[in-house]
Amino acid sequence: MTSAKYDGRMQSIEIDPELNRLALAEAALQYPEFAGQAVRVVARPIFKGFAWQLEWKGAPPPGQSAWEFQNTAIRTYKRLAGITE
């Protein structure tokens, strides 16, 4: 009987800087109050898949609109990059 070793390292997703810029710009069209506050879209590896979120300049802004801005930027980035999950 053989046992396979589990490789716990997860591969991260390389975020394209141009697609990142376009995604943040598109989200800012709908939520202009957050324009310039987000730095980038990030995909952090988790047990299964990735946790997608925004990195903000400073603390993330509170409220539902900030969540909607983040969700819009992430959906846009994934659409532009052709990522389906």
Kindly report the pTM of this predicted structure. 0.82
pLDDT tens figures, 17-76? 999 999 999 999 999 999 999 999 999 988 888 899 999 999 999 999 999 999 999 999
- Comparing CA positions, the residue from 37, 33, 40 lying closest to residue 65 is 33
- Higher-scoring residue by pLDDT: 41, 5: 41
Whose structure tokens read 């490789």? 7
Residue 12, pLDDT score: 64
Angstrom distance (rounded) from CA 76 to CA 9: 27
